[in-house]
Structure 1
Amino acid sequence: MSHIVFFEKPGCGGNAKQKQWLLDAGHTLDVRSLLAEPWTADALLAWLAPLPVVDWFNRAAPRVKSGEVVPEDVDRDTALALLLAEPLLIRRPLLQVGDERKVGFDPAVVDAWIGLDRHAAQRSRAQSEGCAAGMSEGGCAAP
């Protein structure tokens, strides 16, 4: 099993579920706050650089949901500045095992990477990222 550095938004129901799936699969976690981390451009790009800019953003963040921030309309430098200024905009969780990093929690991808139980691996991306079902926007997306 793997030891995973797991950057979360404390109090997020979706992240709580994801952590439980990982623990149920026998992994150990070093849980850190995505919001409290003193991010630098280089540190954040270690996760984000391989992805298209639109995949850097947390689609459940209030500024994204309201249309104030439109990831499809933001260039790389502007996106990085926005995420550094407001970490709530960063797609989560950020996962690291050794030198390998992943952004977001797609159960099939995580299962292929480090292993999950077969039921967790079958869950859809929509069920595994963002706020837990029934949780109010303020309960998950608010800092």
Structure 2
Amino acid sequence: MALVVFYEKPGCSNNTRQKQLLSRSGHDVVALDIRAQGWTPEGLRPFFEGLPVAQWFNRAAPRVKSGAVVPESMPADEALAEMCLDPLLIRRPLMESGGRHMAGFDEAAVADWIGLARTAEPIPETCPRSDGICSLPGR
């Protein structure tokens, strides 16, 4: 199976379920805090290849929800610069394996890429909480 580097926000319940699905599918997961990576525009760009700029953003990020950042009106270079300054803006998870990069967790795309075990119900990609603060109970 694959070695997957998984950039997450620790404590995010969706990221936890996504990592569990990868592990149950036989993959080795190396989880890293997306906020602690010292991102550069060049380092982030491969994760978003082929996606419109608006899909690069975490819709639950406080600055997106408040309207301070409007993904639909941001040029790519500005979006990458803002994400480097505020990693909470980055759509999660970011994953890399075998030289390929992916932003977000589209189960069908991940299954086509590295393979996934079937689940009873899909894991949501966005935070299930209305306040956007995604965490595990007790954290």
Note the C-alpha offset of 1:99. 0.6
Could you state the TM-score of these two structures normalised by the residue count of structure 1? Answer: 0.86
Out of 41-50 and 68-77, give the one that drifted further. 41-50
Q: Quick one: which of 120, 126, 129 aligns to 1:130?
A: 126
Could you state the TM-score of these two structures normalised by the residue count of structure 2? Answer: 0.88
Question: Following the alignment from structure 1 to structure 2, what is the Cα–Cα distance between the partners of residues 71 and 113?
Answer: 27
Secondary structure at the aligned position of 1:39 is classed as coil
Match for residue 3 of structure 1?
3
CA deviation vs aligned residue, 1:6-32 (integer Å, no higher than 9, x gap): 000111111001001101111111111
TM-aligned CA distance change 1:116 to 1:135, over 3 Å: farther
Question: Following the alignment from structure 2 to structure 1, what is the Cα–Cα distance between the partners of residues 130 and 87?
Answer: 20
CA deviation vs aligned residue, 1:35-94 (integer Å, no higher than 9, x gap): 000111111112124321111100111111222211001111211111111000000101
Match for residue 100 of structure 1?
100
Task: Map residues 21-32 of structure 1 onto 2, 5 A cutoff.
Answer: 21-32=21-32
The runs of 5 or more residues in structure 1 that have no matched partner are: none
Could you list the runs of 4 or more consecutive aligned residues of structure 1 that deviate by over 3 angstroms after TM superposition?
133-136
The structure whose residues are more often helix, as a share, is 1
Question: Following the alignment from structure 1 to structure 2, what is the Cα–Cα distance between the partners of residues 71 and 134?
Answer: 21
Match for residue 45 of structure 1?
45
Question: Following the alignment from structure 1 to structure 2, what is the Cα–Cα distance between the partners of residues 119 and 26?
Answer: 14
Question: Following the alignment from structure 2 to structure 1, what is the Cα–Cα distance between the partners of residues 130 and 75?
Answer: 31
Q: Is the 8 A contact 2:8 2:32 kept in 1?
A: yes
- Counterpart residue type for residue 85 of structure 2: A
Q: Structure 1 vs Structure 2: percent identity of aligned residues?
A: 47
The runs of 5 or more residues in structure 2 that have no matched partner are: none
- Counterpart residue type for residue 133 of structure 2: G
Note the C-alpha offset of 1:102. 0.8
Question: Following the alignment from structure 1 to structure 2, what is the Cα–Cα distance between the partners of residues 56 and 137?
Answer: 17
